[in-house]
Amino acid sequence: MAQLRGFASAAAQGADIPEVVCFEKQSQWGGQWNFTWRTGMDEHSEPVHSSMYRHLWSNGPKECLEFADYSFDEHFGRPISSYPPRAVLWDYINGRVEGTGLRDWVRFSTAVRTVTPHPISGFLVTSEHLPSQSESTEHFDDVVVATGHFSFPHVPAFEGIESFPGPVMHAHDFRGAEELADKDVLVIGSSYSAEDIGIQAHKLGAASVVFSYRTEPMGFGWPASLEEWPLVRRFQGRTAYFRDGRTRGFDAVILATGYRHHFPFLPQELRLRTANTLYPDRLYKGVAAEETPHLYFLGMQDQWFTFNMFDAQAWLVRDMILDRFAIPAAEVRRRDIQRWLNRMHAIETVREDVEFQADYIRDLIELTDYPMFDLDAVVEIFLEWKHDKQADILTYRDRCYRSVMTQTEAVPHHTPWIEALDDSSAAYLSTAEVPVA
């Protein structure tokens, strides 16, 4: 959507833009934000893309992801809280593109199957229209890969897990915590998915949650029934054996063990191979494939910033495609990438981590005409957010921030997050929570 909007913005300013075709395998746009109740495979036997779930609310303040060219105020017409639920964020990102004619550029329900470099120039893209199962191959001069990287689960095996007598699922397949009520839950992992699924379980009545970390614990001030233990070594029946010698029985296991950057539609040599990191190697300006001209990737970074970073990337990619931004020679590209990698490797504090990504975005915006915004102010919001979470992991979503785009102060939601059990737009936008059926 960012890339489409980038081209639309240039077109609105009178630029001559090429034909743009966006292939989207779902029947609606919104990516991760386009929730589905399905798990595993969808109605066309395609892997389900979204990893989101019922009761997923933004886990960062919306003031950090606001678009610089489409504010929350413009969309909602009034201040809202800082941590809206998924449906409300979908509404916001949809609002920027719906009704603008951009749907005509999208082929929905169409999955890209293969992208192969054309022997002379450009790429042959083979796609399948899923409802009709009909395939077609077309030539494109440039290819922008914007398929996300939180959809293909990384699922490590643990000895004995195959006979654990209860649900074992990766965060990707988690669709809601209601089924964890009264259960003793083991969550493996110590990042955002672990944290949020753990507190979702708590919110919806789990008897206990043990988080099991590989590298380090999250260290929040958990309520008494939530604890952090070292990594599981093995399972026997419902009992987990931990590295520190402790054992405990569980009713359910959630593997919040992250995702794989995976591009099954690309030939091996064009696949981006990277861990989840702030600066994947071999992408000039974080977007242009270092060794393959005319191949671009959006959003492949680990994410403090999201929507507005994707925008800045998309605007620059647009300018690369339109030859408004001249891609320099190979050595210059390598030096630029290396400079960012060196800086990344030297990061020691959370502040440096966030500032790194802010500076990266600043660099992008300076190279294109995406509206510059107060990135330093956003860094401060991120740091305050970290602080809020340390202070109280169960109430941080009740805090309010001020927009750096419009200076609007968010207003508290009518219901504290821990009590909010209706995550629909209607309930959120009403003046008081609608009772759940």
User: In the complex, which residues of this chain contact ligand NAP (CB under 6 A)?
Assistant: 56, 58-59, 150, 154, 156, 171, 188-194, 196, 214-215, 231, 256-258, 276, 303
The candidate with the shortest Cα–Cα distance to 93, out of 20, 29, 4, is: 29
Structure tokens given for 324: 């408004």
Identify whether the C-beta of residue 111 lies closer than 8 Å to the C-beta of residue 46. Answer: yes
Q: What residues pair up with 128 in beta bridges, in sequence order?
A: 111, 135
Dihedral pair phi/psi, residue 304, rounded to 5°:
-85, -65
Identify whether the C-beta of residue 23 lies closer than 8 Å to the C-beta of residue 5. Answer: no
**Residue span 250-279 as binding mask against ligand FAD, x where in contact by CB under 6 A, dash where not:** ---------------x--------------
Residue 26 interaction partner, one of ligand NAP, ligand FAD, a second copy, none, beta carbon < 5-8 Å per kind: ligand FAD
146 lies in the binding site for ligand FAD (CB under 6 A): yes
Using CB under 6 A, which of 7, 23, 70, 401 touches ligand FAD?
A: 23
Q: Where are the alpha helices (DSSP H) in 271-416?
A: 307-321, 330-345, 350-366, 375-391
Footprint (CB under 6 A) of ligand FAD, residues 276-305: 299, 303
Query: How many separate helices (H) and strands (E) can be counted in the chain?
Result: 9, 19
Structure tokens given for 216: 């380090």
150 lies in the binding site for ligand FAD (CB under 6 A): yes
Residue 32 interaction partner, one of ligand NAP, a second copy, ligand FAD, none, beta carbon < 5-8 Å per kind: ligand FAD
Residue 257 interaction partner, one of ligand FAD, a second copy, ligand NAP, none, beta carbon < 5-8 Å per kind: ligand NAP
In the complex, the smallest distance separating the C-beta of residue 364 from ligand FAD, rounded to whole angstroms, is 15
Q: How many other C-beta atoms can be found within 10 angstroms of the C-beta atom of residue 199?
A: 24
Residue 188 interaction partner, one of a second copy, ligand NAP, ligand FAD, none, beta carbon < 5-8 Å per kind: ligand NAP
Identify whether the C-beta of residue 172 lies closer than 8 Å to the C-beta of residue 51. Answer: yes
In the complex, the smallest distance separating the C-beta of residue 171 from ligand NAP, rounded to whole angstroms, is 5
Query: Nearer to ligand NAP by C-beta: 150 or 235?
Result: 150
153 lies in the binding site for ligand FAD (CB under 6 A): no
In the complex, the smallest distance separating the C-beta of residue 14 from ligand FAD, rounded to whole angstroms, is 27
CA-to-CA distance for 60 and 385, rounded, in angstroms? 7
In the complex, the smallest distance separating the C-beta of residue 3 from ligand FAD, rounded to whole angstroms, is 9
CA-to-CA distance for 32 and 193, rounded, in angstroms? 14
CA-to-CA distance for 79 and 432, rounded, in angstroms? 15
The whole-angstrom distance between residue 97's C-alpha and the CA centroid of its chain comes to: 19
CA-to-CA distance for 182 and 198, rounded, in angstroms? 13
Using the rule CB under 6 A, give the single segment among 19-27, 73-81, 158-166, 329-337 that binds ligand FAD.
Answer: 19-27
26 lies in the binding site for ligand FAD (CB under 6 A): yes
Which residues contact residue 145 at a Cβ distance below 8 angstroms, ignoring those fewer than 6 apart? 263, 266, 272, 295, 296, 297, 298
**Number of residues located near ligand FAD, criterion CB under 6 A:** 26
Query: Nearer to ligand NAP by C-beta: 130 or 309?
Result: 309
Query: Nearer to ligand NAP by C-beta: 26 or 190?
Result: 190
CA-to-CA distance for 282 and 423, rounded, in angstroms? 40
Cα angle value 190/277/124 (rounded, 5°)? 125
Residues that bind a second copy (CB under 8 A): 35-43, 45, 47-48, 54, 114, 133-135, 152-153, 155, 157, 161-170, 172-173, 175-176, 178-179, 236-237, 239, 251-252, 260, 262, 264, 267-268, 271, 436-437
Beta strand 259-260 pairing with 252-255:
unpaired
DSSP reduced 3-state for 233: strand
Q: How many other C-beta atoms can be found within 10 angstroms of the C-beta atom of residue 102?
A: 18
Query: Nearer to ligand NAP by C-beta: 10 or 87?
Result: 87
Query: Nearer to ligand NAP by C-beta: 26 or 193?
Result: 193
Query: Nearer to a second copy by C-beta: 182 or 352?
Result: 182
In the complex, the smallest distance separating the C-beta of residue 401 from a second copy, rounded to whole angstroms, is 29
Residues that bind ligand FAD (CB under 6 A): 23-26, 31-33, 49, 51-52, 58-60, 65, 111-112, 146-148, 150-151, 265, 299, 303, 306, 310
